[in-house]
Amino acid sequence: MALLRVEKMGHDFGGLRAVNNYNLEVESTQVRGLIGPNGAGKTTVFDLISGIYSPTEGSIVLDGKSIVGLQPHQIAAMGLGRTFQNLRLWRHMTVLEHVKMARYSKISYGLIGAFFGTPRRKREEEEIEEKARGLLDLMGIGRFADQVVVNLPYGAQRRVELARALATEPKILFLDEPTAGMNPEELVQMMEIIRLIHKELGLSIFLIEHRMKMVMELCEIVQALVFGEVIAEGTPEEIQNDSKVIDAYLGREAVH
Amino acid sequence: MVFFFQNLVNALQWGSFYALIALGYSMVYGILMLFNFAHGDIFMVGAYIGFGVATGLVALASMGALALPTWLILVLTIIITMFLTSLVGMMVERVAYRPLREAPRASAAITGLMVGIILETGNLALLGARRVRFPTLIESTTYDIGGVFVTNKKIMIVVVSLLLMLALDQFVRRTKWGMAMRAMAFDYAIVPLMGVPINTIAALTFAVGSGLAAAAGILFGVAYPVLDPYMGIVFGWKAFVAAILGGRGSILGATLAGFLLGFIEIFVAMIFPSTLRDLIAYSIILLILTFRPHGFFGEPYSARLRL
């Protein structure tokens, strides 16, 4: 059974058909890609599945349960983690706090614990901090743990975002252009990190990418989205050689 | 010099009222990007609920049903009133603001003004136009400290206010709700994706702000026992000024600005005729804002990120 199954999903923004008849199946531990030109509706697909918008029609089943109409925090709690195309960090909070925030639903101590430092608070805080530091080390940003995120280099900020998404303990991770704005060196590092988390944590990954190199190297199956519709789906090689994709997205001169 | 310290004591008391109310303004503004123009009236509601609770407890005590010393009545009044007023604040959020979360900010501001009017006139309809008298919970004692007269009420007001501010600071730093509030102030839209129910946090923000306003209402009632349904308006506006002066969402800023407002008002009145107090005091504030348009601790920002 697929971990995530989306069937006949469609969405209108006013009179505009942003996404039409969208279907997706992601098996557990699979890495999938979504490509398409600017404005094709890729991020909208992410927003619809993660509950930012509610789809006009269609069904979305995550791990056997329908998630259509659920609040984003409920969907997140059911195992969907995501990052954003533009960095979305809380500027003046520390790296550690970002990761802790993602553990919100697992913090059970309340006012009394917070104010008087009960043993339960101590235990939970230690556990959270240990896990958080473990994640940050995995991302290679452990040394930044207590720094405020605005002071970090760009590549590290992106990894904070990734660590935060992972801290929600997702079953499936949505990455929205994880290498946007990165230089070649940072790009290579990011690809290694994605491979690493896929291997270490056994996650399913669904990623939006502009760079074909990323998609070719990471994804098992790729969809090409144009004007809100999937025009092709297949292995990276198939997509690369699909004439419709070449027309709509890669451009003719790209086939060499 | 004695004269200066006498005014300093008065300024601390006024500043406490402003700061407590400003904190609620600032939190809602910082976390939800919303001016809750009904907040001054929440202060009024708090004062009235406090009046009701205190009167009830005093009656129970005098009937012998509860053998409570008056200081305990005051403590109980503060706790119960803060709780009840928090519920009022949460209701306001649920009914008036949540449906407008994605609406233009002007709509939400107008809604706030309307909620304020509803609370004022609702109070009128409920209790009539007569003013009510806050029961005396503390017998006034005046201490003469080197010529400066300090009443026990003033000390109590300032101490309770500072304790509440400290508690708020710890709440925001140490609890998961406080952490969520801070995160929402920086980037609101992505917080739910971390599994945080933002409606709960929004309601809680209103609850905390309203609770602090309620405390200010009771403390005000202790110092100036005559309450009327429109008492929240001027306080609301001045606290709003303090919240802006402090900087968006800054707890320290709102606190300092609240006290500063108290100081400026009292000291202007010390030098100039008191009829000119607000004219001069708020001209000074205007001047400060000209040079620091984002307030003391606010940082420049353009538009807030939304998904």
Q: Give pLDDT, residue B303.
A: 39
A165 with A83: CB under 8 angstroms? yes
- pLDDT tens for each residue of A40-51: 899 999 999 999
Kindly state whether A212 is in contact with chain B, defined as any CB-CB distance less than 8 angstroms.
no
Å from B219 to nearest chain A CA?
A: 24
**Residue A52: pLDDT above 70?**
yes
Q: Give pLDDT, residue B189.
A: 85
Domains in chain B: boundaries? 2-291
Instruction: Name the residue with higher pLDDT: B60 or A252.
Output: B60
Kindly state whether A196 is in contact with chain B, defined as any CB-CB distance less than 8 angstroms.
no
Kindly state whether A71 is in contact with chain B, defined as any CB-CB distance less than 8 angstroms.
yes
Type of residue numbered A76:
A
Å from B234 to nearest chain A CA?
A: 33
| DSSP secondary structure letter of residue A242 | -
Closest alpha carbon within chain A to B301: A91
Type of residue numbered B149:
F
Of the residues A101, A125, A166, the best mutation for testing chain B's interface (the one with the most B CB atoms within 10 Å of its CB) is A101
Q: Name, of A39-43, A65-69, A180-184, B98-102, the range with top average pLDDT.
A: A65-69
Contact A88 B190 (CB under 8 A): yes
Instruction: Give the confidence band of A182 by pLDDT, cuts at 50, 70, 90.
Output: confident
Q: Give pLDDT, residue A15.
A: 85
- Tens digit of pLDDT at every position of chain B (307 positions): 888 899 999 999 999 999 999 999 999 999 998 889 999 999 999 999 999 999 999 998 888 777 788 889 999 999 999 999 999 999 999 999 999 988 888 898 899 999 999 999 999 999 988 889 999 888 889 999 888 899 999 999 999 999 999 999 999 999 999 999 999 988 888 899 888 999 999 999 999 999 999 999 999 999 999 999 999 999 999 999 999 999 988 899 999 999 999 999 999 998 899 889 999 989 999 999 999 888 888 776 543 433 3
ipTM computed for the complex: 0.83
- Domain architecture of chain A: domains with CATH: 1-79+170-256 (3.40.50.300), 94-168 (no CATH)
Closest alpha carbon within chain B to A111: B175
- Residues facing residue A10 across a β-bridge: A57
The number of beta carbons lying within 10 Å of the beta carbon of residue A71 is 15
Place of tokens 């969809």: A223
Q: Is the dihedral of CA A217, A218, A224, A230 positive or negative?
A: positive
Determine what percent of chain A is predicted with pLDDT higher than 70.
Answer: 97
Q: Give pLDDT, residue A251.
A: 62
Contact B186 A101 (CB under 8 A): no
Type of residue numbered B221:
G
What are the strands, taking DSSP E only, across chain B? 132-133, 142-145, 148-151, 226-227
Å from B23 to nearest chain A CA?
A: 19
Place of tokens 């199954």: A5
- pLDDT tens for each residue of A203-228: 999 999 878 788 888 999 999 998 89
The number of beta carbons lying within 10 Å of the beta carbon of residue A184 is 8
**Alpha carbons B83 and B71: distance in angstroms, whole number:** 19
**Alpha carbons B86 and B83: distance in angstroms, whole number:** 5
Kindly state whether A116 is in contact with chain B, defined as any CB-CB distance less than 8 angstroms.
no
Q: Give pLDDT, residue B79.
A: 97
The CATH number of B2-291 is 1.10.3470
B222 with B214: CB under 8 angstroms? no
Nearest to B176 among A72, A92, A107 (CB): A107
Contact A90 B176 (CB under 8 A): no
Contact B195 A82 (CB under 8 A): no
Kindly state whether A122 is in contact with chain B, defined as any CB-CB distance less than 8 angstroms.
no
**Residue A109: pLDDT above 90?**
no
**Residue A57: pLDDT above 80?**
yes
Contact B183 A90 (CB under 8 A): yes
Q: Give pLDDT, residue A1.
A: 76
**Residue A183: pLDDT above 90?**
no
Instruction: Give the confidence band of A163 by pLDDT, cuts at 50, 70, 90.
Output: very high
Place of tokens 């609702």: B122
Run of H or E including B152: helix B152-174
B14 with B266: CB under 8 angstroms? yes
**Residue A164: pLDDT above 90?**
yes
Phi, psi of A64 (to 5 degrees): 85, -5
**Residue A106: pLDDT above 90?**
no
* Longest Cα separation, chain A: 67
Contact B192 A73 (CB under 8 A): yes
Of the residues B31, B191, B193, the best mutation for testing chain A's interface (the one with the most A CB atoms within 10 Å of its CB) is B193
**Alpha carbons B147 and B154: distance in angstroms, whole number:** 16
Instruction: Give the confidence band of A113 by pLDDT, cuts at 50, 70, 90.
Output: confident
b or e along B247-256 (b: 16 or more beta carbons within 10 Å of the residue's beta carbon)?
A: bbbbbebbbb
Find chain B residues with C-beta within 8 A of A92's C-beta: 186
Q: Give pLDDT, residue A252.
A: 57
| DSSP secondary structure letter of residue A254 | G
